[in-house]
Structure formats: C-alpha cells, structure tokens
Chain A
Amino acid sequence: MTTREEQEKIQEKFKERMDEDELLNCMRCGFCLPTCPTYIESGYKESHSPRGRIALMKAVVDGLIEPDEDFERSLDLCLGCRACEPVCPSGVNYGHLLEEARAIVSVNKRYSLPAKVVRNMVFKGLFPHQNRLRNLTGLIGFYQRSGLQTAARGIGIMKLLPDSLSSMEKVLPSVPSMKEMRNRPEHLAPLSKKVHKVGFFSGCLMDTMFLETNNATTKLLQLAGCEIVIPKNQACCGALHGHSGEKEGAKDLAKRNIRAFEDSDVDFIITNAGGCGAFLTDYAHLLKDEPEWNTRAIAFHEKIIDISEILVILGFHEKVKLKLPAQIVTYQDSCHLRNVMKTASAPRALLQAIEGIEYREMKEADRCCGSAGIYNITETEMSMQILDYKMEQAKGTYAKTIVTANPGCLLQMKLGIERAGLSGSMRGVHIADLLLEAVGERAEK
C-alpha cells in the first residue's frame, strides 16, 4: 500500500525523472503485445502489456492518473524479460523505462516491515558481499551434506513453505565447500595455442552456488586458447538491484566492476549468465549522469560477450570434438541473453555440433520461463503459470536434456521438471556444463 503522500511524491519524481522522449517514442502500435508473457497469461489485459505499462507510466507523468495500487500491480507483474524490445518498430527501450519507474517507486515508498527486512538483507547485506554470500551458500551446503536436508524433507517442514519455495529447495544444486569457493585462482593459462587474453566475470551466484559451472566455463575457454584473468575485486553485477528499483546499490557495484577489469588489459570479458551479461552491457546507461564513469562504462561494455558467442567466434565447435550419448536436447533462451545481448544462434550452433545428440527446437523457446530474478518468489502465482506452460512445450520435444544459459533459468527449469513430475526422465543443465561433458572432461551428473 502506498499512502496519498507517497503517491504524490512518486508522481512528482515521475515528472522529473522519467525519460519523456522514450515514453513518447512508443507509438502504441501494439506490435509488442503478442510477445508479452504477462499479457497472454493475464487473459489479454492491456494493463499487463508493455504498451499498457508505458501508457500508465506516461499517464502518471502527465498527471492523468495517480500511481495507485493498480499501477504498482502492473509494474510488479512485469517479468522484465524485455521480449517486447526486439519486436518494437520504434526501438523503445522498455527495460530502461521499467528500471527507472521501479527505482522511483521503491525509493519513495515505505515498505512493510517484513518486506523491508528481506529487501535489506538481499540488496544491502548479501549480494554486494561475496564473502557473506559464500557463507550463506556454505550454510546451504552444510544443510545438504549434514543429512539435515533429508531430515527436514522427511519431517515435512518444507511443506509449510509456499509451493514453489519448497520445490525450489529440492532443486538447489549441491553447493561446493567453503574451501573450494575461496580457492579460485586469479589467473589461468590457455590449454591450446593462445589466441586471446580474456577476463572472466565470475558473478556472485555463479561463483558460489554454481561454482562448477564457472569451472566448466573457464575450462572451455582454456581449451579454446584463452588466457584468463579473474580479477579478485570484482563484484555482483547489480542486476538484481537494478531490476528491483535499488538503483544506487547497482551503481556502486557497477563502478567496482569497471575498476576491477580496467587494468587487466583483456580483449574480451566473458560472462556465462545472460542476466548478468545484459546488465553489464547496460552500465553506460546506469551511469549516464556521471560523464567520466559513462565513458569508462562504454569501454567496459564493448568487451562483454557471452561464453557461447565467444566459443563460436573462436570456432571451438569446429576444432574440438564434441560427443555425447544419444539423447534429445533442447534449449531454453535466457531472455536477457537473447533480447538484450542478442545472443540466440550461438548456443544453438554449439549444441547442434555435438555428435550423438538430436537437437530439437522447443516451441516458443524464446518465451520467458518465469524465473526473472526473484520474480518466482515475489510473484509466485504468475511465475508458476508461466512455468507450467513452458513445461508443456518442453515435454513436446521429448527432450532428455534442457539446456539453459543463466542460473535463474536453470533453477527454474529444474523446478519445472520437478513440478511436472519428470525428474526421472528429464534434466536441466547449463550449456557450459553440457559442453564440458561433450568434450569428455566431465561425466554426466
């Protein structure tokens, strides 16, 4: 709930800060509507469509409506998947509008106490601090290894949690030990003739809960002839902050990362999480009001490239023999990798190069899976509706393996497999892990 006062404040800030040119740039043609998952799943309600959301933002700026609860509802329910952008004839940057709108609402609104505690914990306490995140992940690891997990499941404590969260608990990867997490090297030598010096953006979640995937990624890069620098002082990309309206926090993290990679003299900066990569490429916009940082951000973002894209550029799939036992494989796009970083054909090309597998394109692979940062926790109902639709499409491919390119998507796919009762016959993997499996360097899990 927002109070009248808060609403007035929000309205004022909208007038001041929303990019009017971008709002006007929307010509209301409606071409984005059929790509919007929330428009479709809400039963074709314009208020949950991109065109509707832009109109609502503009109406708040114009003073036609107040930023009331329904208005916030419309913003909250947006996945931020940005599927609405590539199809827009006008080139409206919806992502930027959404981010600014959410930032204004979150700064000018007093959250209820529990919501505040959670937000503070996540945005200020946890993600900016790699060591704390490591500890938390460590705690999860302890919980899994100690047998407590089995006990808790047995007692059914998990049944008390909302449906999605308790299933989520089942699909968390078995996390690495504290020691493994702390001992990541800062420098790795190429394992074939050196072609590039690259930086590796390790990411916060990826470097804790998904450490193995990070290891797979660096291994692939080494095999492809990359010398790798992994700066220690890099931080979380800030996407979670940015997308949830915590803009200031995101800016701090952005500066830390730009600084961390500036001195390393690398040709590329590699990411293996579509969500992070896309946010990194948006730093220049995030820091647009600070000219000096803006320039540094541009130099930074020009080097960002996803692991699939660089492997294809380096001809990895042509040089290295990739082979797996016979199975059907399908690919679920990471929204931000596809819609913002424009990487869509590279992962498919890599998968199709694997001997022994049959690659089958899933219907609407480019539609969001409903994970969307912490959306599956904050908007569980819509998220699960979207996920269940996704699993129908996945089932239609008869795939044994669903490949993703982002940790959030990966967890969501695993959750979907669990919910659809397919855990015996289907698995979700990150593309880097599957490729390493195909190289023969790692056994199937």
Chain B
Amino acid sequence: MSASNEAAVLAAEVKGKMINIVGEGNFDDSKTGRLVYSYDATPNFQSLPAAVVSPRNTREAAEIVRICNEHKVPIVPRGSGTNLCAGTCPTEGGIVLLFRHMNKIIDIDEENLTATVQPGVITLDLINAVEAKGLFYPPDPSSMKISTIGGNLNENSGGLRGLKYGVTRDYVMGLEAVLANGDIIRTGGKLAKDVAGYDFTRLFVGSEGTLAIITEATLKLIPIPETKKTMLALYQDIESAAKSVSKIIANKIIPATLEFLDQPTLEVVEAHAKIGLPTDVQAVLLIEQDGTPEMVNRDIERMSAICKEENAVSVQIAESDAQAEALSSARRTALSALARLKPTTILEDATVPRSEIANMVRAINNIATKYHVKICTFGHAGDGNLHPTCPTDSRDKEEMERVEKAFEEIFVKAVELGGTITGEHGVGVMKAPYLELKLGKEGIAAMKAVKTALDPNNIMNPGKIFAKDSRKRVVITR
C-alpha cells in the first residue's frame, strides 16, 4: 500500500487550466479532498490522487481528458467507489474524475423502450424511475442503492436477476464516450440492429475505465413482469442442491433468481440474524420466479417438486410478500453477518460453469481447511458465480498470507474447472496478477494491443487490468 503520491502533484499550469474548465468549486487538491478519494471498497488499497475534478458535462470532461493526455496525467474515473478490485484506487496518482454533477436521467423513451442516462445516475434511482412507468431494467447488483451506471457499465456488473435476464452488458444499446485524445464518439443508439463497423459498445462495457470515459449511455428496457414468487429449499448435502439447480434448468425452467448459501454462511447468518434456519443443513437455495401468475405458479410448483426429488429436506413457498421477505432474509443478511465477524472482509467472485458448482464449493471448503482460514460461500448458483468470502484481519500479516494463498488456489481451481477468476467484480489491480491464468499470454497481448491503440500514453486508469508482473499476490498489505 503506497499511501502518498507526493511525486504526482499537478503542475501549476495544469491546475490552472483545469480550474478554467470546471471552475474552482469543482477542482479540489486539498489534503482532505484527496484523501477521501484514495480508496474504494477493496480492502487494503489506498493511494492519494493529485486532485479531484468534477466536470459538469461531456464537453468539460473531454477538455479535461485532452489536458491530461497532453501532460500525461493519469485519469481515474470514479462512480461511487464500490468496486471490489481496487479499480478506482489511484495507484499511479493523477486525477480522480467524478460524475457527481453528471447524474441525470436524460429520457425514458416508452416507444423505443430505452433509457438514456448520464454516468453518475444511481442504479436504483434508474430502476425506480423506469418501474414507475411499468418498465424494467433488470441488472441489480447488491450495491445498487449506491452504485452508479458508469460503474456498472465499466465493471459489467451482474445481480440477482442475472440468470434469467443477463448482466449489464445485455442492456447497453449505445454510448457516448470520450477517448484518451479528447475526441467524443458515439456508439450504437436506440437501435435493435446495427452492424456499422466494430462493436465499440461491447468493447467499452467492462473496460474498467481503461479505454474511454463514458459520458452517456442508452440502455435497453423491457416490460415489467406481472408477479413474482419466492421459495426456499434446504439440503443435507451440497451435491443435492447442485443437482437441483442443473435439473431445474434441464427442465427448461429459467428462474429469475437462484441463489445459494453454504453451511458456514448459514451458521454465521443464523448467529447474527436469528432467522430460525437449521444450521446443520449443508446448503440452501433461494429461488424466485417472475412473470404471469399462471407461469409463475406452474414453475414454482415444478421447481418445488424437483427440489424434493433431489432430497431437499424442506421446501417452503412464500404465500405473501411478507413471507417472501422472510424467506429471502438469509440471503439478504449474508453480507452483514459476514462483515461483522472480523474487521476485514474479503469478498471474491470466482465463477465456474453451472455444472461444476458442487465441485467448486467442495474445493473451496477443502482449501479453507488446508490454510486454516474461514471461508463462507454464497452466491448466484444459477450463474455459477460464487462469492467465497473471508472474514479476517488485515493487521494479522501471517493470516493474510494464508488468505492470499487460499484465494490463489481458489482461482486456479476455478479456471481448471472451466471457469474464471472474476464473474462480475472486475480485474482492477486486485486480480491483475491472475489475469494470465484465464487469458494466457496471447490473450493478454491482444488486449494490450487494443489498449495501446486507444490510449497510447496510458493515461486511462493506468495500472488496472494489466499487472506489471503476473501472479504476485491477491491482497497487498503494508
């Protein structure tokens, strides 16, 4: 952890130019102002930027980028800083670019079923605004109350509804973006079909601020499902839970949500929230289906039958909203329960093909035992996207080393099973050393070629995605 970046102060000339563009109030290089943008939600990363700049519109953003390019000043675009890969930690100094003024919903187009928004819009605000019009924007990361669309786009965030509805990427139709040289380009549009040239929209989604600054996005909306129903199934062994998942899908039912909690997670949840769940069960599945009432009822009944066939020890179906709340409370409180155990919480997102879930969970539990660390696993079973979570204490160096080793082994195992090192949290600095595991040397070289072509001076969120040298460590301690 490098705490200070005194070398990276802005030249007076650069500072003056920036203030000319955004105004005094939107340029901050005070110690306090810089400190509060020196971190994100990733444990153990902190590094001060030289200044924090808040453009009010695309033109100002573009002018700031142009100056940065001219003077080779790194730019760290930042939404709400909730990412878990150190993606907004200014490890190389430079400026943090905020979108706190660019937070308007520009329009909700009910004819084309699109929403056009600025990057600073809070995800939940957008969801609420479109739902008020009977429309639906499905990507719902657990952080949606505070995450921004800009952040969601750049991490290609997923959510609980991912299995049926896909992730952020599946709802992006067009973008307005500022390139590293300050050019403003538009990609896609309110178009269902568009094959005019390379698909830059897809390239920028998930690019973690390393290719362009997104200043506007046109998102796809769908009609809102009529109803929703929730059920909960408990199992004595992980295999049965995993088999239920596969069988549900093999039966051509795609539930809206298919979440999983393992026994260590359950134990922690029960200790914290006292929901009344048995803690000796080995796995829990939380299942939701939405759609027309007939379809929802039919699917829930069939899924309930499948769970029982696969030896669920208990299957409960919620008859009211209040009951649904109660059933989903274990899943909802999982993070709170885990976060309260120890000062440091490491939340990972190794992902495997759906069919490998049982193998992966078992491997995680064995690895945890091997390294004497506590790892609780919950996550999106339908997507094979697991969240092995480790409550620990970053001050305990010896334990942190074991935690790092355990996670490294988890990543290796995930890739071995045909999975990936990150399903939705992104690479950032945190997982850069492991990218090669997934992509191989050639894959990284190809990506770097794209990066260099679009950002020859390496000013766009430098140090993210590509590691200086691979396979260092997961958690960087002081």
Chain B residue nearest to A32 (CB atoms) is: B146
Complexed CA–CA distance, A326 and B340 (Å): 48
B103 contacts across to A, CB distance below 8 A: 44
Is B335 among interface residues, defined by CB-CB distance under 8 A? yes
A65's partner among B32, B145, B146 (CB-CB below 8 A) is B32
B345's partner among A27, A34, A59 (CB-CB below 8 A) is A27
Question: Given A28-B39, A56-B36, A65-B31: A34 and B146 within 8 A (CB)?
Answer: yes
Question: Given A64-B4, A64-B35: A31 and B340 within 8 A (CB)?
Answer: no
Question: Given A29-B41, A44-B100, A62-B3: A55 and B35 within 8 A (CB)?
Answer: yes
A34's partner among B100, B145, B336, B340 (CB-CB below 8 A) is B145
Complexed CA–CA distance, A30 and B143 (Å): 8
B32's partner among A27, A29, A56 (CB-CB below 8 A) is A56
Is B344 among interface residues, defined by CB-CB distance under 8 A? yes
A68 contacts across to B, CB distance below 8 A: 31-32
Is A366 among interface residues, defined by CB-CB distance under 8 A? no
Is A70 among interface residues, defined by CB-CB distance under 8 A? yes
Is B166 among interface residues, defined by CB-CB distance under 8 A? no
B395 contacts across to A, CB distance below 8 A: 24
Complexed CA–CA distance, A91 and B340 (Å): 6
Complexed CA–CA distance, A45 and B28 (Å): 11
Evaluate contact between A47 and B33: CB separation under 8 angstroms: yes
Is B187 among interface residues, defined by CB-CB distance under 8 A? no
Chain B residue nearest to A49 (CB atoms) is: B36
A34 contacts across to B, CB distance below 8 A: 122, 145-146
Chain B residue nearest to A70 (CB atoms) is: B32
Complexed CA–CA distance, A45 and B100 (Å): 8
B37 contacts across to A, CB distance below 8 A: 46
B340 contacts across to A, CB distance below 8 A: 89-91
- Residues 287 to 326 of chain B near chain A (Cβ within 8 Å): none
Evaluate contact between A30 and B36: CB separation under 8 angstroms: no
Is B394 among interface residues, defined by CB-CB distance under 8 A? yes
Is A380 among interface residues, defined by CB-CB distance under 8 A? no
For chain B, the count of residues having a C-beta within 8 Å of the partner chain is 37
Cβ of A191 to closest chain B Cβ, rounded Å: 37
Is A325 among interface residues, defined by CB-CB distance under 8 A? no
Is B222 among interface residues, defined by CB-CB distance under 8 A? no
Is A71 among interface residues, defined by CB-CB distance under 8 A? yes
B36 contacts across to A, CB distance below 8 A: 45-47, 49, 52, 55-56
Is A169 among interface residues, defined by CB-CB distance under 8 A? no
Evaluate contact between B339 and A90: CB separation under 8 angstroms: yes
Interface string of B136-165 (1 = CB under 8 A from A): 000000010110000000000000000000
A45 contacts across to B, CB distance below 8 A: 36, 100
B146's partner among A21, A33, A71 (CB-CB below 8 A) is A33
Complexed CA–CA distance, A393 and B343 (Å): 38
Question: Given A28-B41, A64-B3: A70 and B33 within 8 A (CB)?
Answer: yes
Chain A residue nearest to B122 (CB atoms) is: A34
Interface string of A19-43 (1 = CB under 8 A from B): 0010011011111011000000001
Q: Say whether chain B's binding surface is mostly helix, strand, loop, or mixed.
A: loop
Cβ of B119 to closest chain A Cβ, rounded Å: 13
Evaluate contact between A30 and B80: CB separation under 8 angstroms: yes
B31's partner among A21, A55, A70 (CB-CB below 8 A) is A70
Is B251 among interface residues, defined by CB-CB distance under 8 A? no
A30 contacts across to B, CB distance below 8 A: 41, 80-82, 143, 146
Is B216 among interface residues, defined by CB-CB distance under 8 A? no
Evaluate contact between B122 and A55: CB separation under 8 angstroms: no
Is B353 among interface residues, defined by CB-CB distance under 8 A? no
B32 contacts across to A, CB distance below 8 A: 47, 56, 65, 68, 70-71, 73-74
Is A6 among interface residues, defined by CB-CB distance under 8 A? no
- Residues 16 to 55 of chain B near chain A (Cβ within 8 Å): 30-33, 35-43, 46, 48
Is A66 among interface residues, defined by CB-CB distance under 8 A? yes
A28 contacts across to B, CB distance below 8 A: 39-42, 81
Interface string of A66-95 (1 = CB under 8 A from B): 101011011000000000000001110000
Evaluate contact between A31 and B146: CB separation under 8 angstroms: yes
Evaluate contact between A29 and B39: CB separation under 8 angstroms: no
Cβ of A444 to closest chain B Cβ, rounded Å: 37
Cβ of B452 to closest chain A Cβ, rounded Å: 32
Interface string of A321-345 (1 = CB under 8 A from B): 0000000000000000000000000
Chain A residue nearest to B334 (CB atoms) is: A89
A27 contacts across to B, CB distance below 8 A: 41, 43, 339, 344-345
Chain B residue nearest to A63 (CB atoms) is: B3
A29 contacts across to B, CB distance below 8 A: 41, 82, 143, 339
Question: Given A24-B394, A71-B32: A31 and B343 within 8 A (CB)?
Answer: no
Cβ of B123 to closest chain A Cβ, rounded Å: 11
Question: Given A33-B80, A34-B146, A89-B339: A70 and B30 within 8 A (CB)?
Answer: yes
Cβ of B359 to closest chain A Cβ, rounded Å: 29
Evaluate contact between B145 and A31: CB separation under 8 angstroms: yes
A43's partner among B30, B33, B100 (CB-CB below 8 A) is B100
- Residues 341 to 360 of chain B near chain A (Cβ within 8 Å): 343-345
Interface string of B364-400 (1 = CB under 8 A from A): 0000000000000000000000000000011100000
A89's partner among B35, B48, B335, B344 (CB-CB below 8 A) is B335
Complexed CA–CA distance, A59 and B32 (Å): 9
Complexed CA–CA distance, A91 and B333 (Å): 12
Evaluate contact between B339 and A55: CB separation under 8 angstroms: no
Cβ of B337 to closest chain A Cβ, rounded Å: 9
B146 contacts across to A, CB distance below 8 A: 30-31, 33-34
Complexed CA–CA distance, A30 and B123 (Å): 14
Chain B residue nearest to A91 (CB atoms) is: B340
A91 contacts across to B, CB distance below 8 A: 336, 339-340
A31 contacts across to B, CB distance below 8 A: 143, 145-146
A66 contacts across to B, CB distance below 8 A: 31
Chain B residue nearest to A23 (CB atoms) is: B343
Chain A residue nearest to B82 (CB atoms) is: A30
Cβ of A138 to closest chain B Cβ, rounded Å: 45
Complexed CA–CA distance, A49 and B143 (Å): 17
Complexed CA–CA distance, A38 and B143 (Å): 21
Complexed CA–CA distance, A64 and B39 (Å): 13
A21's partner among B100, B339, B343 (CB-CB below 8 A) is B343
B81 contacts across to A, CB distance below 8 A: 28, 30, 46
- Residues 82 to 126 of chain B near chain A (Cβ within 8 Å): 82, 100-101, 103, 122
Most buried by B among A31, A33, A70: A31
Complexed CA–CA distance, A65 and B143 (Å): 29
Cβ of A26 to closest chain B Cβ, rounded Å: 9
A90 contacts across to B, CB distance below 8 A: 336, 339-340, 345
B335 contacts across to A, CB distance below 8 A: 89
Cβ of B266 to closest chain A Cβ, rounded Å: 17
A21 contacts across to B, CB distance below 8 A: 343
Complexed CA–CA distance, A44 and B344 (Å): 26
Complexed CA–CA distance, A114 and B81 (Å): 41
Cβ of A374 to closest chain B Cβ, rounded Å: 24
Evaluate contact between B4 and A89: CB separation under 8 angstroms: no
Cβ of B478 to closest chain A Cβ, rounded Å: 10
Interface string of A86-121 (1 = CB under 8 A from B): 000111000000000000000000000000000000
- Can you list 24 A-B pairs with a CB-CB distance of less than 8 A? A24-B394, A25-B343, A27-B43, A27-B344, A27-B345, A28-B81, A29-B82, A30-B41, A30-B82, A31-B143, A31-B145, A31-B146, A46-B37, A46-B81, A47-B32, A59-B35, A64-B4, A65-B32, A66-B31, A68-B32, A70-B30, A71-B32, A89-B339, A90-B345
In order of increasing CB-CB distance, the 5 nearest A-B pairs are A70-B32, A24-B343, A44-B100, A52-B36, A46-B36
Contacts A28-B81, A55-B36 given; 17 further ones with Cβ under 8 A?
A: A24-B344, A24-B395, A25-B343, A28-B39, A29-B82, A34-B145, A44-B100, A44-B103, A46-B36, A47-B36, A55-B38, A56-B36, A64-B48, A68-B32, A70-B30, A70-B33, A90-B336
B interface residues with partner A (beta carbon < 8 Å)? 3-4, 30-33, 35-43, 46, 48, 80-82, 100-101, 103, 122, 143, 145-146, 335-336, 339-340, 343-345, 393-395
